[in-house]
Amino acid sequence: MALRYDTPSLMRWNARAYDSSFGYVSAQGTPLIELLDPQPGERILDLGCGTGVLTGEIAARGTTVLGLDGSAAMIEVAVAQHPGLEFMIGDGGNFHLHRPCDAVFSNAALHWMVRDPDAVIRCVRAALNPGGRFVAELGGAGNCAALTSAMLTAWREYGLREPELPWYFPSPAEYATRLEQAGFTVRLLEYFDRPTPLDECPDGAADWVRMFAGSLLDDVPPGTVEPLLRRVNELAAPALRRESGWVADYVRLRFAAVRA
Ligand code: BEZ
């Protein structure tokens, strides 16, 4: 299987910390594999595969899987941890498979492909055989609202330029429309809250920002980063800090669509 290599991710990922402190991202993807229902012998693309944890689970069902991700750091770890599997660096909005596949799977990745969501859906459709499945989960409208509101307030209080948040969290209606306009039939669409304990993040919202919004900290003067993150924690705590620890306010959009 060949792939046109294109723009790598602008996000700098700490792939090892991603697995150790934010392993819930992959763990929560396991039910999505049930929805995918991979069959032995199928060819499947894992779009935005990260470190390949779910790629490995899909391969274990007897499928042939290609993992694609925009981050070289993620792919490096994926290759090291799953030596028998195929991984590629590539752009979700600009990729092409020479041989189409039976299903495209994507967990917690489509919301990073902000530049042109329709281009992503078009590439997925072109990668599928007729009748092929597109099964995915991403952040939905309102995802991480308390986290991002605390960030925007803290940035403003410190006199910093409002950061451009690097995520796309569509409403169910918006994403279903995009899928249908691109030639998919939507068979299932779910939109639900998923409060998620940040068990491995002792510094709570600040740890989350360091992992998922680290690129925004590049524009912050070095001496301001720590007080800014402390302020994010203060602002987010009333909504997200419980006696048991921090809980992120995730909202999910999960769908299964078929190439018409
Ligand atoms: C998410 O999985 O919903 C997500 C993770 C990090 C940043 C933004 C969204």
What is the CATH number for 72? Answer: 3.40.50.150
Q: Evaluate whether residue 103 is within a structural domain.
A: yes
Total domains in the chain come to 1
pLDDT tens-place string over residues 228-248: 999 999 999 999 999 999 999
The answer as to whether 229 is a domain residue is no
The SS3 call for residue 38 is coil
Cβ neighbours of residue 23 under 8 Å, at least 6 residues apart?
53, 200
Whole-model pTM: value is 0.92
In a domain, 38, yes or no: yes
Tell me the per-residue pLDDT of 77-127, one tens digit each, with 9 for 90 and over.
999 999 999 999 999 999 999 999 999 999 999 999 999 999 999 999 999
Backbone dihedral angles phi then psi of residue 195, each to the nearest 5 degrees: -60, 130
| Residue 215: inside a domain | no
Residue closest by Cα to atom 7 of ligand 1: 212
Is 87 a member of any domain? yes
152 falls within a domain:
no
Domain that holds residue 121: 3-143+166-198+248-259
What's the pLDDT at 9? 54
**CB of 205 closer than 6 angstroms to any ligand 1 atom:** no
How far, in Å, is the centroid of ligand 1 from the Cα of 149?
14
**pLDDT means per 10 residues in the chain (260 residues)?**
39 69 78 97 98 96 98 95 96 96 98 97 98 98 98 98 95 98 98 94 95 93 98 98 96 98
Q: CA-based Rg of the chain, rounded to a whole angstrom?
A: 18
Question: Is 111 touching ligand 1 by the criterion CB < 6 Å?
Answer: yes
Question: Residue 14 has what pLDDT?
Answer: 73
**Which among 7, 28, 249, 1 is positioned nearest to 141, based on CA atoms?**
249
Residue owning the nearest CA to atom 4 of ligand 1:
139
How high is the pLDDT of residue 11? 67
